[in-house]
Structure 1
Amino acid sequence: MTDKKYPYVNHMNILHNPLEVIDIQSLVQSCTDQWYNQTLCQVNDSVVRLGILHGEYHWHKHDNEDEFFFTLDGKLIIDIEGQDSVELGPQQGYVIPKGVVHKTRAPEKTLVLMMETAAIIPTGDV
């Protein structure tokens, strides 16, 4: 679903059940969106999401949830309010604690896995 306020495509539905193979490459090949987020599966009270990203997200925060980003391919830059930016290359991860204002940028097509609670709102808390 595309949020009318933001140009991102966020699919919150859980794409795979337990005991199913998750084929990320097929999702990447079929993606035509510049900023795409798909929930792959649920693990206990959290979800694993795939981000296919190119461009810049907006500044936001999550009051009650931490976020974990793990770059599979490309380069993810995480800007953190009041701190230096963090740059993640392939096979690198980073946790943004709840309440921290941040935004993500991908100067090239980048594949990212995100782990967060199932209740999180990707565009942030108001």
Structure 2
Amino acid sequence: MMSGASSPKAMAAALTDYWSPRVVGEVDDSYIKVAKVRGSLCWHSHDDEDELFLILKGHLRIELEHAAPVELDEGEMFVVPKGMRHNPVAEQECLLMLIERKSTLHTGNVVTERTRSLAEQLGAG
């Protein structure tokens, strides 16, 4: 993790795998993560944690169960409330920053081929 000033956008751009978030910092009991995404992740929820999405570059649609999708452009953010099923979708490559509690599982209670462990997100896997 960085000890000085850093650029989340540059760190996200340097990632080579889609849907593989990397922890780049921490604030109290939350991790700050960056990711490069394209396509659809999967429908999932986080029963006990909110999840903040901040768009660093590109466009992201967050599909929500029982609600209209949220469309986010560069510089915009949205907090997915705990317990809400959601599916992030990027038609084109998108760079984003996530802020979520350290207990948050990547794809909640769903495991797919895109699910990344915390060790992987910390760069240890």
Range class of TM-score, shorter chain: 0.7 to 0.9
- 1:4 is matched with none
Higher relative contact order (CA 8 A, sep 6+): 2
Residue deviations 1:40-98 (CA, integer Å, cap 9, x gap): 11101111100111111100000100000010110010000011111100010001110
2:120 corresponds to: none
**Identity percentage over the alignment?**
31
Residue of structure 2 in register with 1:6 after alignment = none
2:47 is the alignment partner of 1:60: no
Structure 2 unaligned blocks of 5 or more:
111-125
CA distance in structure 1 between the aligned counterparts of 2:11 and 2:29, rounded to whole angstroms: 26
SS at match of 1:21: coil
| Corresponding position of 1:108 | 92
Contact 2:62 2:69 in 1 (8 A): yes
Q: Cα RMSD over matched residues?
A: 1.5
* Preserved contact between residue 35 and residue 55 of structure 1 (Cα < 8 Å): no
5+ residue gaps, structure 1: 1-14
TM-score, normalized by length of structure 1? 0.80
